[in-house]
Chain A
Amino acid sequence: MSMKNLLLACILAVSGGILAQPMKYKGSPGGTLSFGQRNSLSTFNHGDEQSTLGVGGQFRLRLSERINTEWFFDYLPATNDFTRRTDYHIGWSVMYYPFKTDNQRLMPYVVAGHCFDYTKHRDLSTPSNQAERWSSAVQGGLGMHLNLTERLDVSLSSQYMIHLGTDIHTHIENNVVEFERQKGGSLEGHLLFNLSFNFKFVDLWARD
């Protein structure tokens, strides 16, 4: 074993010990940095498009006792009858806790934010036949943290996301898939449900 590997093993053992310690807050929970993984269920509003199971990651930086921020990335592929649609979301949200938050097992919140979306449609039988678009979006909704431990929470939220951008419609003409890009801007919305596991690593505001 090289000294580099030995050093890595020591760092892992020490950092493992640190993560097993209780959180040390300096005053309010503002400054708490947490990382999480999330699953998204997206219900698209187009006629025969399949609802989508997505996976992604996020980090949260809590600004004060009542305000938290969430920065996320989602990957959402869906296979339909003739096409495969893939969406990538990258965005952020602000979460507001309307009720007191100290030592609460359940913490409801109101959430709203912005998102950028890249969508790609591909013909299943002819992969070279494809179309793509970029759009921006706003989203808002309600959520709930279930604090399992001082460091770990499970969060469930439901948000409506409205995209502003050129929409792509799929048509079947003579057994051939045709993608039609709509001219001008259009509003396209879908309902998103997110389930996430989040682990609080550190209070960044604590200075000692």
Chain B
Amino acid sequence: MGARLILLGMCLIGYLSLNAQNLEDGQRNGLLQATASFYPSWMLNHKVQNNCIGGHFAYYFEDHYSFRGEILAYIDAQGDQKYLDKHVQVQAGFGRHFPIKRWDPFVYGQMGLSAVQLKNYSDAHLQPTIGLIVGVHYNVSRFFYFFAEGQYNHTNDPERKGPMDQIYVSGGLGFQFPTKK
């Protein structure tokens, strides 16, 4: 077990030494990112605020474009007013980046599915979801970045006619790994 870990560590160091990407020059191609964070949200069609946890990964297939996958899970409402009982979203999409040195403003369009069960209802439903994300990364080093973002998600209400849209905000620390020379 110990020998395997040492071997893995040596492979990793060797691999990373070959992947000298210069983030300060706006180079992002081949960068793989992942993070997890806390997502407070506001329901736009109800006077309810929620708390969610979630995470995403992103892969830059060009300096200005990346693919992103995301999962968000509802924990509870922020007050006594509750509208949701369970809500898990899985989304994926593509983003456009506007890198300036270590800064990386971005916008993503995402699509996915939400598993939703409303408060006082016994059935859960799968609902299509679309999301628009606007935010910024700051690349602290080759392996870490800070991020802040806001997200608008549109989902139709599974039990009533009408939308069940939410605004999410999030931020924190992310991890990144260059996969290309």
Residues of A within 8 A of B (CB): 1, 3, 6, 13, 16-17, 19-20, 37-39, 50, 53-55, 75-81, 84, 124, 127, 148-149, 151-152, 197, 199
Q: Is the CB of A13 within 8 A of B179?
A: yes
Return the contact of B67 from the options A77, A124, A199 (Cβ within 8 A): A199
Interface flags, B103-134, vs A, CB<8A=1, else 0: 00000010111000000000101111110000
Name the A residues within 8 Å of B113 (CB-CB).
Answer: 55, 75
Return the contact of B161 from the options A1, A80, A152, A197 (Cβ within 8 A): A80
- Size of the chain B interface, CB-CB below 8 angstroms: 39
Q: Is the CB of B157 within 8 A of A79?
A: yes
Q: Is the CB of B94 within 8 A of A54?
A: no
Q: A17-B180, A78-B156 are known; give 10 further A-B pairs, CB within 8 A.
A: A1-B5, A20-B30, A20-B60, A55-B113, A77-B125, A77-B158, A79-B160, A127-B123, A149-B65, A199-B94
C-alpha gap A38/B112 in the complex (Å): 9
C-alpha gap A19/B181 in the complex (Å): 13
Q: Is the CB of A16 within 8 A of B30?
A: yes
Q: Is the CB of B158 within 8 A of A79?
A: yes
Interface flags, B6-19, vs A, CB<8A=1, else 0: 00100000010000
Q: Is the CB of A50 within 8 A of B4?
A: no
Name the A residues within 8 Å of B130 (CB-CB).
Answer: 39, 53, 55
Interface-centre pick from B92, B94, B113, B158 (highest chain A CB count, 10 A) = B94
Shortest beta-carbon distance from B44 to chain A in Å: 16
Return the contact of A53 from the options B94, B96, B128 (Cβ within 8 A): B128
Q: Is the CB of B94 within 8 A of A152?
A: yes
